[in-house]
Chain A
Amino acid sequence: MSLLADLLTIVGVGAGAFFFLAGTVGLLRFPDTLTRLHALTKADNLGLGLIVLGLLPRAGLSGGLKLIVIWALVLLASSSASQLIARVAHRGERER
């Protein structure tokens, strides 16, 4: 059982770290604002979600619930913020 939990942690946190790395590379390499945002949201949502999932077996019940709530809040904040940034970028592009 603990082996299974350890495995889940290793796979989850490892995959989450990979998505963060991929998101960062995308942020640095992609050509314009919208594609860079696209890369960033993958890191924020999927990467953090996978890390939270990987940490769940170690956190206990109340700690695990807090982790999930944190993930949900980050989802809400980052998706709203990227919508706002994308709107400004889109408007700027049309005016050009």
Chain B
Amino acid sequence: MSLLFDIVLSLIVVALAVRVIVAEDGFAAVVSFAAYGLLVALAWVRLYAADVSLTEVAISGGLAGMLLIGAASRLRAIDARAAAQRSGRGVRLFAALLSCGVAGGLGLAVLALPDPAPSLAEAAVANLPPTGVGNPVTAVLMAFRATDTLLETVVVVLALVGVWSLAPDRLWGGRPGAREHADPNGPLAFLARVLPPIGVVVAVYLLWAGASEPGGAFQGGAILAATWLLVIMAGLSDAPATHGHGLRWLLVAGPLLFLAVGFAGIWLADAFLAYPTDWAKALIVAVEVAKLLSVAAALGLLLLGPPRRIDTP
């Protein structure tokens, strides 16, 4: 029975992937892509990878979907012109062949994996006690491979700097996006009043549960960012001015605290990014809290885009 479910799920995922490629309209492709992200998240659950699934659903289904809808609606104006000057048949054939080659190569690589696959899962579980956390995924992200996670948190901030750099000089430090004027008594404003408390609780829960169960700062941050964006989109609060010092400190709080804890590890535990055993869990949770706030601010601002208006006094 579950085999049947898995087969149907895989077929729908592949069908949606094909639909994303062949969709004529950018908007239709984006909607299919969001649905594809949700179903891939379901596939991760079937593979017992709940942590990956949460990230997939928050990033691919939620935030990337929103980002792409924004892009599609901006591109709609030039879609007709772009369709008129389609690239030649040869170029398109070459692109299709290249994509099929990459997909086929990936498939071969996956099929050629040794069975059973080499795994560090046992070593990770065996070394859980010194870290003080109960979720092996969190232990890998925050202790065993902390360097990767540190660099990832920095990359998010760098991406935001890249987006902000698209603003012309006179708008530097201004507010991103257009001022939203939604109906203050409409359904969107209602949703934006009811959902934020729930969103904040779920985000904090995901962060806290991440120490022992699936969850963590990134998933919690994505939910916090989505809640914040909902409030901005409903016009209940304006997007922040990007020159604010508080906002900028918030953005770098996660990476800075992570780095500080990492350097402190040189003296306290004899290695960069090593934790003293007694303090491991407290330090990990502290870094996760700072990361939650930074990730939420960075993801929200990434979606809002470059500064587009300056406050007139």
Chain A residues near B (Cβ < 8 Å):
73, 76-77, 79-80, 83-84, 87
Contact = CB atoms under 8 A, between A and B. Distances in A.
A52 B211 CA distance: 29
Interface residues on B, range: under 10
Interface string B144-188: 000000000000000000000000000000000000000000111
B195 interface: yes
A87 B187 CA distance: 10
B22 interface: no
B120 interface: no
A8 to B, nearest CB: 21
B187 A80 contact: yes
A75 to B, nearest CB: 11
B109 interface: no
Provide the main secondary structure of the chain B interface: helix
B123 interface: no
B187 A83 contact: yes
Provide the main secondary structure of the chain A interface: helix
Contact of A76 (B186, B188, B191): B191
B114 to A, nearest CB: 38
B198 interface: yes
B250 to A, nearest CB: 28
B3 interface: no
Contacts of A79: 187
A80 B190 contact: yes
Contacts of B187: 79-80, 83-84, 87
B226 to A, nearest CB: 12
A80 B191 contact: yes
6 nearest A-B residue pairs (beta carbon): A83-B187, A80-B191, A80-B187, A84-B187, A84-B188, A76-B194
